[in-house]
């Protein structure tokens, strides 16, 4: 084992050592309700690994710019900040999603009940409005498979609801490297109608050359109680990123010599991205009776994405390329939730529903000269993805002779029908790259929870899931043989969907007042894992590997030592590896070389161990409301540690990112001036100024794997809240 891995394992052992001496004192579980699969229930009773990050924790985690800030404390989640706003953060859950070169893969993202992931499994975390978030839920394990294609895990975000008193919140954050974030949020309620509207503006000069970015974001939620038991929610959000310069990745030697430099040709080719996205959705809930509720949703949106990429043609050093995506997306769904209370065998909670989603995007591309478009298109096609899914879940609370429910049986099923198709509108090259493919899969789930005590639940789950290739992964195919081969813009219908089998066992325990322990063991095997076959000049073709496995353990411990002092510890151990050898191809100059990826190699982008430890202090004690921070002074000292990880399937020395640990410190003060509240805070991230790789670009063709983490950086923030 590498020394970085050994140190991380020692950290995990130390954390477990702190946990063992706790005494057992009965305490009722907190009444936090979450989406456990497709049924809402108390987080303590949920037969799955469900993490909840409330609004206060979201705000205390950082400047509320990247989703990775809030997810750092969630076990099983690897949230790597690229510090590259042209590519978004890199998030994986239990090893799913790590191969993504940009955006999200293998994870379902849902905002206020509206899918933010397209039917083929692509998503963008940057569109989540953290400044107005009330809570974030993360679901992993077998129950996540009830969300369909690419559900290695599910991240749901919820915008806060308006209070009864109209209020304005104005905040500003300033930090190192020209960081600025300004936000204004208005909320209020008139009769049965409530509104939250939030606008934020973010910009940074960037730590590295060619890494400046600007983002503008609007998020609003209107709720209307149309009649007793009937509620309508309208969700509207706009995301505008007029520019995000792309510094690209660095080779190991470049990273060690100067982590602030841009990658090869980034400056010469002016690599950058711009994005505009708007979305409108509606969710209607109706209570037919105390035991039957219906929910309907519909949404639509558009997204325009223009990216300028670096070229690698030594004979034409000023030549790069561009890709433009113009997407329309929409969907609808319905769900019934019910209860059967007086059955002889016990109480039943059930749900059944369907999801129908679709997206269509015009993909165009061409060449650039010194970072500007040059010449006509060399690619023009219409890509479509759609799904038609039905699902059901049943929680059966078995009764004993005394009327107690010592066991809960959970069962679920989802049938998915996913279609990918491409119409080639660029036929001047004499080759039609059109194609289509259809994937169908049924995902069953079965689990059992033993309610051993009021303070202890033990559960076990089994399930099956699947993950189709994304349109971006099916967009290229390898043609030719030997050194005459090339990657062409041809739809690849030969990619299979990856099929996975999930096993999970865990417990949830409240051993003492103010103390909570969640632990889980899991094993996942996947057939037909989707892997890179050949990368060249910014294009990657994919194939299926025969088999992979992911197994590991997760632990979360929260403890309140007093009214002022609290600790949080989360630890993850993960072994994600290829169980069978497969062949991929690399290109050096004009020569192609076949490489055998041996069985036992680790999946890239995933550390074997991860630890988050936090010591928190609040002068007047923690707040009981998620939208309120503690009054007076408060502070937190956080330690984030990860073991070494690989950036390529080969697990070679050039792709090894060393393990690291960074310390972050926050100091806050909240005061009241009559009805007004003023929050001030300062923070220092990477307090010890460690040099580390913040993330890696998996299987990058030129071995420009590394995206440097930020050095020591400071932040200052001010927020003023006042009734209107």
Task: Tell me the pairing of strands 104-105 and 498-509.
Answer: unpaired
pLDDT of residue 524 exceeding 60: yes
Specify the pLDDT at position 376: 84
Task: Give CA–CA dist 155/86, Å, rounded.
Answer: 21
Assign 401 to helix, strand or coil: coil
CATH number for the domain that contains residue 78: 2.40.170.20
**What b/e string do you get for 332-371 counting C-beta neighbours within 10 Å, with b at 16 or more?**
bbebebeeeeeeeebbbbbbbbebbbbbbbbbbbbbbeeb
**Long-range CB contacts (< 8 A, 24+ apart) of 94-97?**
94/140, 94/141, 94/152, 94/153, 94/522, 94/524, 94/550, 94/552, 94/574, 95/152, 95/524, 95/550, 95/574, 95/576, 95/603, 95/606, 96/150, 96/152, 96/153, 96/467, 97/152, 97/153
- Residue 1 pLDDT more than 60? no
- With residues binned 3-state (H G I as helix, E B as strand, rest as coil), the percentages for the chain, rounded to 5, are 5, 60, 35
Q: Identify the sign of the CA torsion 687, 693, 697, 702.
A: positive
Predicted local confidence at residue 595, as pLDDT: 87
Predicted confidence at residue 589, as pLDDT, reads 65
Position 452 pLDDT exceeds 90: yes
pLDDT for 352 equals: 97
Which pLDDT score is estimated for 311?
86
Task: Among 63-77, 133-147, 422-436, name the one with the lowest average pLDDT.
Answer: 422-436
Q: Quick: pLDDT tens for 220-264.
A: 999 999 999 999 999 999 999 999 999 999 999 999 999 999 999
What tokens appear for 278 in the block? 């708007």
Least confident of 13-27, 211-225, 283-297, 423-437: 13-27
Number of domains composing the chain: 1
Question: Residue 567 above 80 pLDDT?
Answer: yes
- Count of beta carbons in the 10 Å neighbourhood of residue 639: 16
Please, which residues bridge with residue 721 across strands? 169, 677
- Look at the block and give the residue holding tokens 């939030």: 198
pLDDT tens for each residue of 89-100: 999 999 999 988
DSSP 421-438: EEEE---TTS----EEEE
Q: Which residues contact 691 (CB under 8 A, 6 or more apart)?
A: 259, 708, 709, 711
Dihedral, CA of residue 262, residue 263, residue 265 and residue 268, to nearest 10: 0
**Residue 414 has what pLDDT?**
97
Residue with tokens 């040059």: 374
Say if residue 13's pLDDT is above 90. Answer: no
| pLDDT (mean) for 18-24 | 34
CA distance 201 to 724: 23
Q: How confident is the model at residue 402 (pLDDT cuts 50, 70, 90)?
A: low
Residues sharing a CB contact under 8 Å with residue 403, sequence separation 6 or more, in sequence order? none
What span, in angstroms and rounded, lies between the C-alpha atoms of 49 and 555?
A: 10
Task: Please check the confidence at residue 116 and state whether its pLDDT lies above 50.
Answer: yes
- pLDDT at res. 31: 60
- Domain with 198, as residue range(s), is 3-723
> Quick one: tokens of 235?
């969700």
CB 418 within 8 A of CB 439: yes
The strand pair at 515-536 and 104-105 is best described as: unpaired
pLDDT digits (tens, 9 = 90+) for 594-645: 889 999 999 999 999 999 999 999 998 875 544 456 789 999 999 999 999 9
Residue 380, pLDDT score: 94
Distance CA 39, CA 349 (A): 8
550-570: b (≥16 Cβ within 10 Å) or e: bbbbbbbbbbbeeebebbbbb
3-class DSSP assignment, residue 3: helix
Dihedrals phi, psi of 238, to nearest 5 degrees: -130, 130
Across residues 567-584, what is the average pLDDT? 95
What does the pLDDT look like over 472-481, one tens digit per residue? 899 888 887 7
Count Cβ atoms below 10 Å from residue 372 Cβ, excluding itself: 11
Query: What pLDDT band is residue 513 in, cutting at 50, 70 and 90?
Result: confident
Sequence-distant (6+) residues with CB within 8 A of 522 are 94, 141, 502, 503, 504, 505, 550, 551, 552, 553, 554
Q: Please say whether the beta carbons of 150 and 107 come within 8 A.
A: yes
Q: What is the pLDDT of residues 40-97, one digit of tens each?
A: 888 888 888 899 999 989 999 999 999 999 999 999 999 999 899 999 899 999 999 9
Give the model's confidence band at 410: pLDDT under 50 very low, under 70 low, under 90 confident, else very high: very high
> What's CA 98's distance to the chain center, in Å?
10
Q: Quick one: which H or E segment has residue 254?
A: helix 252-257
Our measurement of the distance from residue 715's CA atom to the centroid of its chain's CA atoms, rounded to an integer in Å, reads: 24
Residue 18: pLDDT above 70? no
CB within 8 Å of 698: residues ≥ 6 apart: 98, 99, 100, 101, 532, 604, 605, 647, 648, 705
Beta-strand relationship, 230-245 and 272-289: antiparallel
Q: Helix (H, G, I), strand (E, B), or coil: what is residue 14?
A: helix
* pLDDT value of position 403: 67
In this structure, the strands spanning 407-424 and 372-398 are antiparallel
> pLDDT confidence of 285, banded at 50, 70, 90?
very high
Q: Among 603, 594, 606, 610, which residue's Cα sits nearest to residue 556?
A: 610
pLDDT at 701: 84
What integer best gives the mean pLDDT of the chain? 90
- pLDDT, one tens digit per residue, over 149-177 is 988 899 999 999 999 999 999 999 999 99
Cα separation, 160 vs 112, in Å, equals 10
Instruction: Name the more confident of 81 and 315.
Output: 81
Token output for 128: 């989540």
CB-based contacts of 687, cutoff 8 Å, min separation 6: 662, 663, 664, 665, 712
pLDDT given at position 101 = 76
- How does pLDDT run across 681-712, given as a tens digit for each residue? 999 999 999 999 999 999 988 899 999 999 99
Q: What is the pLDDT of residue 623?
A: 58
- Between CA 89 and CA 130 the distance in angstroms is 14
| Sequence-separated (6 or more) residues with CB below 8 Å from residue 116 | 109, 110, 123, 124, 127, 128
**CA atoms of 627 and 617, how far apart (whole Å):** 18
Q: How many CA atoms lie within 13 A of 353 on its CB side?
A: 23
Task: Write the CB contacts of 498 (distance below 8 Å, at least 6 apart in sequence).
Answer: 466, 467, 468, 526, 527, 528, 529, 530, 544
Please, what sign has the CA dihedral across residues 108, 111, 115, 117? negative
- The span from the CA of 395 to the CA of 512, in Å, is 28
């Amino acid at each position: 084992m590498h020394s970085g891995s050994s140190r991380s394992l020692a950290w995990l052992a130390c954390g477990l050592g702190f946990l063992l001496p706790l005494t057992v004192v009965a305490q009722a579980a907190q009444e936090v309700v979450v989406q456990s699969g497709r049924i809402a229930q108390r987080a303590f009773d949920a037969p799955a690994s469900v993490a909840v990050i409330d609004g206060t924790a979201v705000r205390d985690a950082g400047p509320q710019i990247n989703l990775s800030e809030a997810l750092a404390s969630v076990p099983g989640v690897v949230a790597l900040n690229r510090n590259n706003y042209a590519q978004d953060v890199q998030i994986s859950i239990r090893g799913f999603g790590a191969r993504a070169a940009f955006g999200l893969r293998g994870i379902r993202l849902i905002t206020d009940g509206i899918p933010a992931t397209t039917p083929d499994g692509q998503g963008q975390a940057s569109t989540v409005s953290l400044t107005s978030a009330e809570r974030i839920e993360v679901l992993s394990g077998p129950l996540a498979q009830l969300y369909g294609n690419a559900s290695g895990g599910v991240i749901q975000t919820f915008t806060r609801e308006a209070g009864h008193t109209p209020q304005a919140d104005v905040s500003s954050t300033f930090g190192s490297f020209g960081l600025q974030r300004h936000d204004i949020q208005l909320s209020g309620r008139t009769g049965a109608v409530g509104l939250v509207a939030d606008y934020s503006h973010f910009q940074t000069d960037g730590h590295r050359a060619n890494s400046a970015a600007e983002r503008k974001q609007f998020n609003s939620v209107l709720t209307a109680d149309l009649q007793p038991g009937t509620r309508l929610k309208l969700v509207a959000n706009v995301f505008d990123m007029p520019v995000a310069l792309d510094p690209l990745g660095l080779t190991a030697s470049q990273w060690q010599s100067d982590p602030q430099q841009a990658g090869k040709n980034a400056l010469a080719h002016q690599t950058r991205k711009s994005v505009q996205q708007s979305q409108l959705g509606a969710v209607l809930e109706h209570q037919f009776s105390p035991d039957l509720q219906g929910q309907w949703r519909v949404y639509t949106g558009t997204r325009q994405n223009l990216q300028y990429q670096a070229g690698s043609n030594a004979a034409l050093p000023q030549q790069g390329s561009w890709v433009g995506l113009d997407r329309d997306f929409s969907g609808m769904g319905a769900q019934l939730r019910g209860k059967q209370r007086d059955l002889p065998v016990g109480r039943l909670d059930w749900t059944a529903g369907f999801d129908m989603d679709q997206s269509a995007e015009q993909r165009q591309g061409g060449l650039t000269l010194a970072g500007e478009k040059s010449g006509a298109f060399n690619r023009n096609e219409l890509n479509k993805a759609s799904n038609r899914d039905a699902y059901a879940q049943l929680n059966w609370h078995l009764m004993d002779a005394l009327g107690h429910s010592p066991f809960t049986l959970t069962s679920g099923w989802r049938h998915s029908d996913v279609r990918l198709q491409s119409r080639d509108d660029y036929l001047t090259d004499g080759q039609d790259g059109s194609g289509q493919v259809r994937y169908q899969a049924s995902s069953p789930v079965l689990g059992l929870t033993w309610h051993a005590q009021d303070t202890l639940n033990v559960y076990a789950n089994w399930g099956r899931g699947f993950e189709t290739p994304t349109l971006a992964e099916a967009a290229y195919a390898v043609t030719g043989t030997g050194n005459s081969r090339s990657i062409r813009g041809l739809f690849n219908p030969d990619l299979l969907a990856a099929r996975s089998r999930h096993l999970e066992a865990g417990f949830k325990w409240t051993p003492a007042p103010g103390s909570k322990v969640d632990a889980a063991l899991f094993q996942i095997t996947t057939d037909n894992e989707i892997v890179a076959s050949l990368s060249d000049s910014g294009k990657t073709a994919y194939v299926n590997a025969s088999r992979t496995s992911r197994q590991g353990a997760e632990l979360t411990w929260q403890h309140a030592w007093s009214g002022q002092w609290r600790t949080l510890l989360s630890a993850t151990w993960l072994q994600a590896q290829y169980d069978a050898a497969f062949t991929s191809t690399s290109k050096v100059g004009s020569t192609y070389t076949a490489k055998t990826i041996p069985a036992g190699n680790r999946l890239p982008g995933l550390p074997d161990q991860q630890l988050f430890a936090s010591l928190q202090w609040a002068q007047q004690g923690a707040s009981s409301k998620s939208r309120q921070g503690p009054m007076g002074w408060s502070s937190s000292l956080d330690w984030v540690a990860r073991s070494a990880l690989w950036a390529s399937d080969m697990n070679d020395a050039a792709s090894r990112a060393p393990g690291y640990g960074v310390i972050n410190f926050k100091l806050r003060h909240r005061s009241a001036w009559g009805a007004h509240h003023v929050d001030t805070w300062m923070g220092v991230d990477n307090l010890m100024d460690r040099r580390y790789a913040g993330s890696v670009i998996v299987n990058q063709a030129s071995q420009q794997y590394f995206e440097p983490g930020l050095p020591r950086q400071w932040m200052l923030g001010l927020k003023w809240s006042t009734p209107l």
